[in-house]
Amino acid sequence: MQRIKTVDEMRAAVQSLRGQPAAAGNGKIHGARSIGLVPTMGALHEGHLSLVRAAKDRCDAVVVSIFVNPTQFGPREDYDRYPRNVDADCALLEREGVDAVFMPDVMEMYPPGTTTYVDVGPIGERLDGASRPGHFRGVATVVAKLFHIVEPDRAFFGQKDAAQVAVLRRMVRDLHFRTELVVCPIVREDDGLAMSSRNGYLLPDEHEQALVLHKTLRVIQSRFAEGERSAERLLSAGLFVMAYEPTVRIDYLKVVNPKTLEDVSEVEGRALVVLAAFVGGTRLIDNVLLEEPFLVNVIPAQA
């Protein structure tokens, strides 16, 4: 596995990975090998590894980026204390058979005097974009940079960051990127907590309290399965569960359109229930997709 620090080296590595003979049937482009990119901020866990495995299944070569991106953190957020353990991360990636890991430093990604950013418009100001102003501008900017450097055929993201996925889909469409976004299911701990690099901040009793996020979403999901379609009533069922953990402070709990992240009042077709909450000083997010059961048209048999 190559460990790469600079943009030039990364571009050269991609060129050489593309030039090697491709495995049959693995999404080739113009006879070259296909490249999958898994963008991460490191502190890797099973959620990240599920993205790596999906990339290995669907692409000839896999590049993982590890970069704690300063522009997506607010001034009072956890940029400085965000967990960094590049050697342990590389050992995991090596075991997964990753071809190259791109771990630039901040100066490499944001050369001094950088003034160009990607602004995705109003969608970037919803949900985490409302609570963390500038967050999605930072995410879109760094992902656009990574797409330009690696030029992946496919990039793999987790459904846990559903708002990030919506923002990046918009960016890919608006800026005509050729990269296909592949979204992989949320990976959970055995107790239901969605995996996150920030779970490591939780004290044991906070970990217990944090389970209320998943419990809340599950109750909303079962009300929906029972036929409830009013967002207001679905949310009040959720708030009732959240009230069992009064120390957990809700940032947002909403039913939104998965593409636009706008609130919906009635679930028609599909909707996303999104939840962000502070457990102690740690902000966690989780979500669940509500989908109408597929309606089959029954065609009467010919007499």
Nearer to ligand PAF, 108 or 245 (CB): 108
Q: What is the 3-state secondary structure (H, E, C) of 253-283?
A: EEEECCCCCCECCECCCEEEEEEEEEECCEE
Structure tokens at 265: 């009042």
Judged by beta carbon, residue 139 or residue 184, the one nearer ligand PAF is 139
From 22, 54, 142, 279, residue interacting with ligand PAF (rule: CB under 6 A):
142
CB neighbours of residue 237 within 10 Å: 17
- The verdict on 139 binding ligand PAF (CB under 6 A) reads yes
Encode 173-186: b = buried (16+ Cβ within 10 Å), e = exposed: eeeebebebbbbeb
Half-sphere exposure for 241 (CA within 13 Å, toward CB): 22
**Cα gap 72→129, rounded to integer Å:** 10
Output the six-digit token pair for 148.
């330009």
Interaction of residue 165 with ligand PAF, rule CB under 6 A: no
Smallest gap from Cβ 161 to ligand PAF, in A, equals: 5
Q: Which of 34, 50, 69, 196 binds ligand PAF (CB under 6 A)?
A: 69
The reply on whether position 143 binds ligand PAF by CB under 6 A is yes
Report the candidate in 39, 220, 73 with the shortest Cα–Cα distance to residue 143. Answer: 39
Q: CB of residue 158 vs ligand PAF: minimum separation in angstroms?
A: 7
Residue span binding ligand PAF (CB under 6 A) among the ranges 36-44, 105-113, 118-126, 219-227: 36-44
Q: Which stretch binds ligand PAF (CB under 6 A): 27-35, 39-47, 76-84, 220-228?
A: 39-47
Which of 36, 39, 47, 152 is close enough to bind ligand PAF by CB under 6 A? Answer: 39
Catalytic annotation, residues? 48
| Interface contacts to ligand PAF, rule CB under 6 A | 39-41, 69, 72, 139, 142-143, 161, 164
